[in-house]
């Protein structure tokens, strides 16, 4: 038995026939010490509504509840997991709400009633992780409906999120994340911690909104960074041609021979304000 008197996760997997499906990005965590460490990376959970994407057999869900979350609202696409999650709901009456469905079709801001702070914590399915992050970073209004994001990514994606100008990993994600949030890699998780093990190391990233980011339309910032980094080896006058090219760069006083990775986040924002 474990800290919550529920069966060990390997038993849960066996009892509910939850062999991992690659198409659903299923790499499960069985070590409840590790899921507790991830839950603690989100900070204090007492008095907090936690939104979890992809609870699977519920290893992280159990840790979030054991760490004192007032409520966990978990969105899971794989119906096979629902019976395992029901056992956790029984153990924590009224505290776990499981929403069967696709996180990409979920309106996250409307899941909670605003009476408590909201934190999003997830061991994300890799195939939808970046897409969800971009949505959470560009959500309106700002400050957003959440107080923080604590998310597992492939290490390489985590490095792109926290990257600063001139870092090797600096690109679209670094600009979007740096514009509105502060982010840091909390710790790495080796492949063998997962079942089945993925090919690469993963990292837990903690992200907190800035209260006063420079005002700009997030979709415009996404367009500028997409164009600039889509041809990252080209000079900006070439890569930004479709958005105004030399005229746009002259307007904001940026040397047209520079390349995307040399621009600060503020410079990207200024470009986006002028397209
Ligand atoms: N949280 C569990 C853990 O840590 O062991 C499982 C993590 S596993 C990496 C990702 C989970 O997300 C799987 O349970 C998978 O079924 C679910 N999933 C995949 N795509 C999804 C989607 N679009 N919406 C909601 N859940 C999804």
Distance 127 CA to ligand 1 centre (A): 10
Given a cut of 60, whether residue 211 has pLDDT beyond it is yes
Q: Which of 9, 12, 22, 25 to mutate to test the pocket of ligand 1 (most atoms within 8 A of CB)?
A: 25
Domain 218-273 has CATH 1.10.260.40: no
Give the C-alpha distances (Å, rounded to integers) separating 272 from 96, 106, 228, 256, 266. 41, 28, 11, 15, 10
Q: Please say whether the beta carbons of 263 and 165 come within 8 A.
A: yes
Angle at 34 between CA 102 and CA 195, to 5 degrees: 60
DSSP of 145-195: S-SEEEEEEEHHHHHHHH--TTSTT-SHHHHHHHHHEEEEEEEEE-GGGEE
CA-CA-CA-CA torsion sign (65, 67, 68, 72)? negative
3-state secondary structure of 85: helix
ipTM > 0.90 (yes/no): yes
CB-hemisphere CA count at 13 Å for 13?
17
Ligand 1 centroid from CA 5, angstroms: 23
Q: Which two tokens stand for residue 237?
A: 């006058």
153 and 202 Cβ atoms separated by less than 8 Å: yes
For the chain, give every domain's residue range: 9-209, 218-273
Q: For residues 40 and 127, is the Cβ–Cβ distance under 8 A?
A: no
pLDDT at 257: 97
9-209: what CATH class?
Answer: alpha beta
Average pLDDT over residues 184-196: 97
Query: Can you give the pLDDT at residue 219?
Result: 92
Tell me the pLDDT tens digit for each residue of 69-121.
999 999 999 999 999 999 999 999 999 999 999 999 999 999 999 999 999 99
Contact 60, 123 (CB under 8 A): yes
Distance from Cα 73 to the centre of ligand 1, integer Å: 14
Answer whether 9-209 and 218-273 agree in fold.
no
- Report pLDDT digits (tens) over 148-158: 999 999 999 99
Tell me which residues have their CB closer than 6 angstroms to ligand 1: 24-29, 53-56, 59-60, 75-78, 81, 102-104, 123, 125, 128
Confidence band, pLDDT 50/70/90 cuts, at residue 227: very high
The whole-model pTM stands at 0.96
- Is residue 1 pLDDT above 80, yes or no? no
Q: What band does 140 get if pLDDT is binned at 50, 70 and 90?
A: very high
- Ligand 1 centre distance from Cα of residue 65 (Å): 18
DSSP state at residue 142: S
pLDDT tens readout for residues 40-71 = 999 999 999 999 999 999 999 999 999 999 99
Tokens of 37: 């460490």
- pLDDT recorded at residue 166: 85
How many Cβ atoms from other residues are within 10 Å of residue 248's Cβ?
20
Average pLDDT, the chain: 96
What is the rounded CA–CA span in Å between residue 275 and residue 255? 17
């Amino acid at each position: 038995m474990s800290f919550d008197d529920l069966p060990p996760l390997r038993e849960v997997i066996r009892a509910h026939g939850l062999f991992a499906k690659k198409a659903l990005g299923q790499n499960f965590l069985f070590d409840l010490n590790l899921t507790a460490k991830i839950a603690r990376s989100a900070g204090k959970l007492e008095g907090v509504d936690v939104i979890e994407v992809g609870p699977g057999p519920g290893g992280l869900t159990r840790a979030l509840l054991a760490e004192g979350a007032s409520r966990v609202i978990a969105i899971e696409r794989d119906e096979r997991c629902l019976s395992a999650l029901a056992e956790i709901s029984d153990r924590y009456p009224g505290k776990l709400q499981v929403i069967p469905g696709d996180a990409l079709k979920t309106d996250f801001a409307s899941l909670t009633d605003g009476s408590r702070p909201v934190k999003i914590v997830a061991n994300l399915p890799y195939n939808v992780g970046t897409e969800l992050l971009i949505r959470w970073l560009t959500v309106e209004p700002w400050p957003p409906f959440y107080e923080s994001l604590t998310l597992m990514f492939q290490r390489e994606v985590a490095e792109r999120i926290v990257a600063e100008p001139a870092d090797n990993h600096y690109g679209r994600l670094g600009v979007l994340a740096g514009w509105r949030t502060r982010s840091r890699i909390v710790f790495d998780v080796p492949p063998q911690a997962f079942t089945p093990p993925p090919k690469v190391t993963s990292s837990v990233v903690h992200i907190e909104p800035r209260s006063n980011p420079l005002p700009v339309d997030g979709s415009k910032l996404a367009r500028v960074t997409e164009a600039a980094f889509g041809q990252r080896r080209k000079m900006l006058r070439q890569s930004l041609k479709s958005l105004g090219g030399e005229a746009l760069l002259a307007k904001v006083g940026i040397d047209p021979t520079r390349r995307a990775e040399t621009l600060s986040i503020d410079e990207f924002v200024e470009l986006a304000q002028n397209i």
